[in-house]
Amino acid sequence: MSIQWKGVMPAVTTKFKEDDTLDMEMFEVNIKAQLDAGVSGIILGGTLGEASTLTGEEKKQLIIETVQLVDGAVPVIINIAEQTTKGAIEAARVAKECGARGLMVLPPMRYKANDYETITYFKAIADSTDLPIMIYNNPVDYGIEVTLDMFEEMLECKNIEAVKESTRDISNVTRIKARFGNRLKVLTGVDTLGMESILMGADGWVAGLVCAFPAETCAVYELVKAGRINEALEIYRWFLPILELDINPQLVQNIKMAEVATGIGTERVRAPRLPLVGAERERVAKVISDGLAHRPKLPAYK
């Protein structure tokens, strides 16, 4: 199995009905919008996908139905965020069984593993499967940083192929590329550093606000890669206030509000998350409405 770790890969939201079951009809609307815009992969069950609230059966359903929906157009990648090595290995097995073509793997959850334990954890998962793996490096939110020296050891596993770079240190893209070249593909995981990271050599963008604005996100990526920097920058400057909704503890609620505004989602979240209320809801709504009022006409970018 192989994945081209490049392009825009949305970390999609999970849609829910009023009775708190999966809303696969609205999910399909959103996935079709992503494919129409030109995304290069679909990532399920991340933070935006409210993975911590999903049952094992719901995750299976999401993988199986997404694989059917994309029909081979792009790879389906499932996030693994488990508390135990045994649980992560089992999640990888189930992912392959259900048709996923790749994994995005977080460090152990809850327990703050040391460097040796973290390396051992990732390598155990990689050794258990032939699915290609992208390591999610987000020390800001998850408390564990995967350093370049740690990657040096982990790259003994041939199927560890990429990193979702979310350290918030833009120079880390250069460090990774300088040390590992194309052996380790780099996908930025911070929306507000999306264009900057691509300019610094990132291969792709694991995006959040793409869930509501797929064409604009793909346009920025493709225009930068084509050297059409000024055109990309014009879109990105418009986009930035909206992208800032991604770097917030309530990013799921924020982005689902944006999906409603663009007609490709619902606002329902799973408790303990709740829809935004009060002044914060008004603030987010204004950011979205201001953005829509000045939404740019996109140049041809595909």
Give the CATH number, domain containing residue 224.
3.20.20.70
- Residue 102 binned pLDDT confidence (cut-offs 50, 70, 90): very high
Q: What is the pLDDT of residue 2?
A: 81
Residue 72 lies inside a defined structural domain of this protein: yes
Residue 2 lies inside a defined structural domain of this protein: no
- Tell me how far apart the alpha carbons of residues 119 and 108 are, in angstroms, rounded to a whole number: 10
* Bridge partners (DSSP) listed for residue 188: 165, 205
With 60 as the cut, is the pLDDT of residue 6 above it?
yes
- Report residue 250 CA to chain centroid gap: 16
Total tally of structural domains belonging to the chain: 1
Domain containing 278 equals 7-293
Residue 1 lies inside a defined structural domain of this protein: no
Among all chains, which residue has been given the structure tokens 């590329």? Answer: 177
Residue 302 lies inside a defined structural domain of this protein: no
pLDDT digits (tens, 9 = 90+) for 44-80: 999 999 999 999 999 999 999 999 999 999 999 999 9
Look at 1-5, 62-66, 88-92, 269-273 and tell me which has the smallest mean pLDDT: 1-5
* Bridge partners (DSSP) listed for residue 135: 105, 163
Q: What is the pLDDT of residue 222?
A: 98
pLDDT digits (tens, 9 = 90+) for 247-268: 999 999 999 999 999 999 999 9
**Contact 236/195 with Cβ under 8 angstroms?**
yes
With 80 as the cut, is the pLDDT of residue 1 above it?
no
Whole-prediction pTM value?
Answer: 0.96
